[in-house]
Amino acid sequence: MTPTGSADWTADEMMSVAASHALAGVTSCFVGIGLPSTAANLARRTHSPDLVLVYESGTLGSRPTRLPLSIGDGILAETAEAVVSVPEIFNYWLQPGRIDVGFLGAAQIDRFANINTTVIGHDYAEPKVRLPGAGGAPEIAASCGEVIVVVRQSARSFVERVDFVTSVGYGRGPGDRERFGLRGRGPSRVITDKGILEPDPATCELTLTSLHPGVTVAEARESIGWDLRVSPDLTTTPPPTADELTVLRGLTDPEGSR
Amino acid sequence: MTPTGSADWTADEMMSVAASHALAGVTSCFVGIGLPSTAANLARRTHSPDLVLVYESGTLGSRPTRLPLSIGDGILAETAEAVVSVPEIFNYWLQPGRIDVGFLGAAQIDRFANINTTVIGHDYAEPKVRLPGAGGAPEIAASCGEVIVVVRQSARSFVERVDFVTSVGYGRGPGDRERFGLRGRGPSRVITDKGILEPDPATCELTLTSLHPGVTVAEARESIGWDLRVSPDLTTTPPPTADELTVLRGLTDPEGSR
Amino acid sequence: MADIVSLADGVRELVHDGDVVALEGFTHLIPFAAGREIIRAGLRDLTLVRMTPDVIYDQLIGAGCARKLVFSWGGNPGVGSLHRFRDAVQNSWPVPLEIEEHSHAGMANRYVAGASGLPFAVLRGYTGTDLAAQTPTIKPITCPFTGETLTAVPALNPDVSVIHAQRADRNGTVQLWGIAGVQKEAVLAAKRSLVTVEEIVEDLEPVPGQVILPSWAVTAVAEVPGGARPSYAQGYYERDNDAYQAWDAIGRDRETFSRWLTELLGVEEPA
Amino acid sequence: MADIVSLADGVRELVHDGDVVALEGFTHLIPFAAGREIIRAGLRDLTLVRMTPDVIYDQLIGAGCARKLVFSWGGNPGVGSLHRFRDAVQNSWPVPLEIEEHSHAGMANRYVAGASGLPFAVLRGYTGTDLAAQTPTIKPITCPFTGETLTAVPALNPDVSVIHAQRADRNGTVQLWGIAGVQKEAVLAAKRSLVTVEEIVEDLEPVPGQVILPSWAVTAVAEVPGGARPSYAQGYYERDNDAYQAWDAIGRDRETFSRWLTELLGVEEPA
């Protein structure tokens, strides 16, 4: 694979490739739409051809030939190993913890990786901005073996505390998941356009553990709404290979998606 | 239809024909195996071609070309409008009360039409005879719009009180079904080889309301384990027509069932 | 047995002001034509139930048909926000919209309970989220065997559920395939049901993955070719993604939406 | 991903003395060959779970494999009684048999709860019957919304579930069709699962009404043609009703049964 330089890719492409790498060795992935779906499909087209993609529309083991435009895109059913009802996908497949990784996006995410996709503003009845809501995210965050969040960094999206907890990360810190009876391990990685954040093993606080090539620590920290800690073992994210970029662009190119 | 005389049919045939008549005008019937299945299939082959047969194996709207030998006979699936899982047939179809008539047999039945298919003898742990058990009967008896029981008369089967209540008829009398929260109306008719018993509207006690042709009241009463009341409006069951007997014999004839 | 009716008659006979109405179809087979017919019928004060109130409910809400929305995800899939939904929630335009908000798992189980004749369903869900505090129809329940605390949600039993399917036969037996969503549960949970279909055929050729709704479990069937557009009907037509994109501009602005509505009310649904 | 194994290896690797074992198949696709292999493996003290313990469990019980039976209907369908089951319950021969008795609806919902990762299920059932008094795994539960009392039953989560299906592919993805019973739930509820199949094929041609169990949800698959005989496998062979009739005579008498058992133990399962 020819090496590439940061001039050769966009920050979004780096984010999707880094997210796809997070699925290496994973058997099954419950895929949210948008960035997670792009990364999951990239993983299946590159290093993880047998990755089982599960969508909340009830498709098990889909092998879409193009990037699905929604979690219920017909291509998911046509290429699925099995299509089950929506109640079954949540009750028989997600709830018992059969799915290794839940792959989520976020409108807002906080220091303890709690996710808000419900309302911006602190008054639920009179929100500043009404967001789409929970969808499948709360139970994906609760029941998958682990959760990976893919979200672009901005002061608006990375906040000290989310306005509304739609999906639980680590609550207010260690022990909360157990207290809530959540059986999955919770968010293991938050992959952004700047780098990778992971919960501190002791405090559960999201910490910068990897910088994407060409990004400085200052750049990574400036768009975070809390005093982001940097891991002593900070690494640099492996750059996308030319092959990965080719596959990714094939997936996201509008022509490829018709 | 040529009239027939009681010499022309057996008591079992009379019983099956009378039971099939009980399904006239019924949309859907949850069918137990044995005598009920024979009667239900006879009804579909004669006066009720559109009768929806539902079996606990998950077959909805089966149109078997021969008499099924078990509630899971392949012919039921092959001729069904839809085949659903066993949990679905009980949860989505039986439990909400969608099925008009539940058609049951019985090892023991009592004055209040309670059914025992579990144990003979009063010690559950040390039964005189261990019977097959409940199967789908308790919920069929609870949830169908009404219940029709088909059973041959004998002092062993018609008892003052069943040794074990597997499926509730009227419990100990009026009000018990409501007390138990059973939503179906309960047994409306018990059809035997001698006649037809119906619950007294006031007491819920099974009462002789119809005698099969050629059967005397004394014959009907002798094999009942309680002092069987006779309805003032006692009628005679219409005899089987030649056509019904032909269809019935075609169904039950072993050759027909291969 | 289901009656075969026109869409207009089906809506007028089965849907009434103030009803609890569920229009289901999970991305696939969304009953858009029936939604537009509900707008034309001028129905008001509806409690609209739907897991994913996307463009179809943005239209109904903008038209002022709804008093309340029971839902779990409200967006324009692949595009963005539902501006009519937002405008109703944030500014009570054209009328105030009460909301009852759940997760997908909660909504799916509420339909399952409704279809099963049970008053509630049990799931692992909501714990630790802020939803439970806002939604009174989320309560804890204790397992009588293990003592574990789980979550209970009440059954959904709409007055009428409306879905779209690929086919029905002349008896009104309904056949759909592809992503089946929660349509079977929505129909079985409802007091009345209206199913629009692409076509009514002599015989329902079996299809792998098919869901069958027997005629006796359905109230009425209406033949409405293209009745799911701009969503898709597997085996019949693809999703019109441009229409979803275009809706963003229409829904974003009250005037533009009002012009869309005026035009809709002038045009009869082809049936 | 599921391993492709021989029946003998599958049973020896996945089933152990004292396990809770469910062999499911509702009249159709009953895993008889696996049952015989469990007898040959000389397994003991099993808690056998099955909605309809028919001839297959009569054989296992008569062979002394079972300590306990969890069931809802125990008979020889279309023939009569299970004499080995009766002899064990009434006379503790060859060993005492504890029973835990439910209705079909209760058992089906116990599997559903097990498959769903819930500790219990709720249904309308058992009220007014004498079953609740004999079965501690039947308890009342109150709806937190309506106050109505319903019935709760605990989840079934067998150590191992064994089913028979028509086909699997080389990856171990399982496909079955026809009467599907409670097999999917039994497999998903179990810690481990063994699926015997009529044949292992290159590609699983879709079949209407099919149930698919993905390879990653199954522990092991064994190719056992005829593995459901004397029950039937839709599309492969019919039910051998004469064999069910013949079993009545074999099972009725201890000596006759013992001869049958001795012969079985001498004969390897063709695999």
Q: Would the CB atoms of D214 and A27 count as touching at under 8 Å?
A: no
Interface contact D245, partner B, CB < 8 A: no
pLDDT of residue B88: 98
Nearest to C110 by CA among A91, A70, B139: A91
Residues in chain B: 258
Question: Using a CB cutoff of 8 Å and minimum separation of 24, what contacts does D86-90 make?
Answer: D86/B129, D86/B130, D87/D62, D87/D254, D88/D61, D88/D62, D89/B127, D89/B130, D90/B126, D90/B127, D90/B129, D90/B130
Chains with at least 3 CB pairs less than 8 angstroms from chain C: A, B, D
Per-residue pLDDT band for A254 (boundaries 50, 70, 90) equals: low
Q: Which residues of D touch A28 (CB under 8 A)?
A: 216
Facing residue for A92 by CB, picked from D1, D115, D212: D115
pLDDT given for residue B208 in this prediction: 98
Residues 32-51 of chain A with CB under 8 A from chain C are 33
What confidence tier does B257 reach under pLDDT thresholds 50, 70, 90?
very low
Under 8 Å CB-to-CB from A191, ≥6 apart: which residues?
A15, A18, A19, A22, A39, A148, A149, A150, A151
Averaged pLDDT score across all residues of chain A: 93
Orientation angle between helical segments B35-45 and B242-252, nearest 10 degrees: 130
What is chain B's mean pLDDT, rounded? 93
Binary contact (C188, B96; C-beta < 8 A): yes
The answer to whether the CB atoms of D214 and A81 lie below 8 A apart is yes
Interface check C217 vs B, CB under 8 A: yes
Going D238 to D241 to D244 to D250, the CA torsion angle's sign is negative
Q: For residue D182, list chain A residues with Cβ-Cβ distance below 8 A.
A: none
Of C1, C188, C214, the CB nearest to B82: C214
pLDDT in tens, C79-134: 899 999 999 998 999 999 999 999 999 999 999 999 999 999 999 999 999 999 99
pLDDT value of position D20: 98
The β-bridge partners of C48 are C21, C69
Contact between chains at C146 and D209 (C-beta distance less than 8 A): no
Q: Cβ of D26 and B129 within 8 Å?
A: no
- In whole angstroms, what is the distance from residue B196 CA to residue A192 CA? 77
Is the CB of residue D251 less than 8 Å from the CB of residue D63?
no
What pLDDT does A182 receive?
97
For residue B135, give the nearest of B118, B112, B151, B152 by alpha carbon: B118
Q: Does D207 touch chain C (CB under 8 A)?
A: yes
pLDDT in tens, B217-239: 999 999 899 999 999 999 999 99
DSSP 8-state class, residue A8: G
Say whether residue A86 is in contact with chain D using an 8 A CB cutoff: no
Position B69 scores a pLDDT of: 81
- The position carrying tokens 């296992």 is D60
Q: Quick one: pLDDT at residue A3? A: 58
* Residue B113 half-sphere exposure toward CB, CA atoms < 13 A: 33
Q: E strands within chain D?
A: 3-5, 20-23, 46-50, 66-71, 98-101, 120-123, 139-142, 149-154, 160-169, 174-176, 192-201, 211-213, 220-223
Cα torsion angle, B151, B156, B158, B159, sign: negative
Residue in chain B closest to D241 (alpha carbons) equals: B69
What confidence tens digit (pLDDT) does each residue in B9-52 have?
999 999 999 999 999 999 999 998 778 999 999 999 999 999 99
Dihedral sign for Cα atoms in the order D16, D17, D21, D27: positive
Chain D: give the shortest CA distance to residue C87, in Å. 32
Instruction: Say if the Cβ atoms of D117 and A96 lie within 8 Å.
Output: yes
Share of chain B above pLDDT 70, in %: 97
D209 touches chain C (CB under 8 A): yes
What ranges in chain A are assigned the alpha helix state H?
11-21, 35-45, 74-78, 86-88, 137-143, 176-180, 217-222, 242-252
* Contact D249/A at CB under 8 A: no
Which residue does chain A place closest to C234, by CA atoms?
Answer: A74
Which residues does chain A have within 8 Å of residue D118's beta carbon, measured at their own beta carbons? Answer: 95
The HSE-up count of residue C115 (CA atoms within 13 Å, CB side) is 26
Residues of B in contact with D73 (CB under 8 A): 132-136
Report chain A residues whose CB lies below 8 A from the CB of C147: none
Q: How far is C222 from chain B (nearest CA, A)?
A: 20
Put simply, whether A79 touches D (Cβ < 8 Å) is no
Q: Is C51 helix (H, G, I), strand (E, B) or coil?
A: coil
Q: Does C146 touch chain D (CB under 8 A)?
A: yes
| Residues in chain A closer than 8 A to C178 (CB atoms) | 74, 77-78, 83
Task: Considering the candidates A13, A56, A198, A244, report the single residue annotated as catalytic.
Answer: A56
C117–B96: do the CB atoms touch at under 8 Å? yes
**Residue C96 Cα, gap to closest chain D Cα (Å):** 26
With contacts defined as CB-CB under 8 Å, which chain A residues touch C128? 142, 165, 168, 171, 176-177, 179-180, 182
C270 touching chain B per CB within 8 A: no
Q: Is the pTM of this model over 0.95?
A: yes
* pLDDT value of residue B80: 96
- Which whole number is the average pLDDT over B95-101? 98
What would the mean pLDDT of C192-218 be, rounded to a whole number?
97
Chains that touch A (3 or more CB pairs under 8 A): C, D
- Please name the helix (run of DSSP H) or strand (run of DSSP E) that holds residue B41, with its range, or none: helix B35-45
Angle, helix C254-266 to helix C83-91, in steps of 10 degrees: 120
The C-alpha of A96 sits at a distance from chain D's nearest C-alpha, in angstroms, of 4
Are A92 and D116 within 8 A, CB to CB?
yes
Residue found by looking up tokens 């739907």 in the block: C50
Q: Does C165 touch chain D (CB under 8 A)?
A: no
Say if the Cβ atoms of B85 and D181 lie within 8 Å: yes
CB B163 within 8 A of CB B121: yes
Is D205 within 8 Å of chain B by CB? Answer: no
A71 interface with C at CB cutoff 8 Å: yes
Kindly report the nearest CA distance between residue D266 and chain B, in angstroms.
Answer: 31
Catalytic residues of B: 56
Cα angle B122-B127-B130, degrees, rounded to a multiple of 5: 125
Q: Do chains B and A touch (3 or more CB pairs under 8 A)?
A: no
| pLDDT band of A258, cuts 50, 70, 90 | very low
CB proximity B251 to D under 8 Å: no
Per CB-CB distance under 8 Å, the chain D contacts of B58 are 26, 179-181
* Residues β-bridged to residue D101: D71
Return residues 156-195 of A near D (CB < 8 Å).
183
Full strand arrangement of the beta sheet holding A108-110: A115-116, A108-110, A158-159
How many Cβ atoms from other residues are within 10 Å of residue C113's Cβ?
25
Q: Is C206 on the interface with D (CB under 8 A)?
A: yes
Contact B90 D104 (CB under 8 A): yes
pLDDT category at B5 given cuts 50, 70, 90 is: confident
Whether residues C77 and A70 touch (CB distance < 8 A) is answered with yes
CA distance D207 to chain C (A): 5
The chain D residue lying nearest C206, using CA atoms, is D208
Closest-CA residue of chain C to B54: C214
Instruction: Tell me the residue ranges of DSSP E strands in C59-191.
Output: 66-71, 98-101, 120-123, 139-142, 149-154, 160-169, 174-176
pLDDT of the residue at B253: 73
Residue to substitute from C54, C101, C104, C151, interface A, most A β-carbons within 10 A: C104
Instruction: Please check whether residue B124 touches D, CB under 8 A.
Output: yes
Over 60: is that where the pLDDT of B113 sits?
yes
Contacts C–D by Cβ distance under 8 A: 67
**Pairwise CA distance, residues C258 & C264, whole Å:** 10
- Full pLDDT tens readout for chain D, 271 residues: 999 999 999 999 999 999 999 999 999 999 999 999 999 999 999 999 999 999 999 999 999 999 999 999 999 988 899 999 999 998 999 999 999 999 999 999 999 999 999 999 999 999 999 999 999 999 999 999 999 999 999 999 999 999 999 999 999 999 999 999 999 999 999 999 999 999 999 999 999 999 999 999 999 999 999 999 999 999 999 999 999 999 999 999 999 999 999 999 887 665 5
- Per-residue pLDDT averaged across A33-45, rounded? 91
In 3D space, the residue among B79, B150, B86, B157 whose CA is nearest the CA of residue B117 turns out to be B157
Q: Is A188 helix (H, G, I), strand (E, B) or coil?
A: strand
Give dist(CA D25, CA D164) in Å, integer.
Answer: 7
Report pLDDT for D9.
Answer: 98
B99 at interface of C, judged by CB pairs closer than 8 A: no
pLDDT value of position B117: 96
In angstroms, the CA B105 to CA B95 distance is 20
What per-residue confidence (pLDDT) applies to C78?
83
- Tell me the average pLDDT across A106-130: 95
Residues recorded for chain A: 258
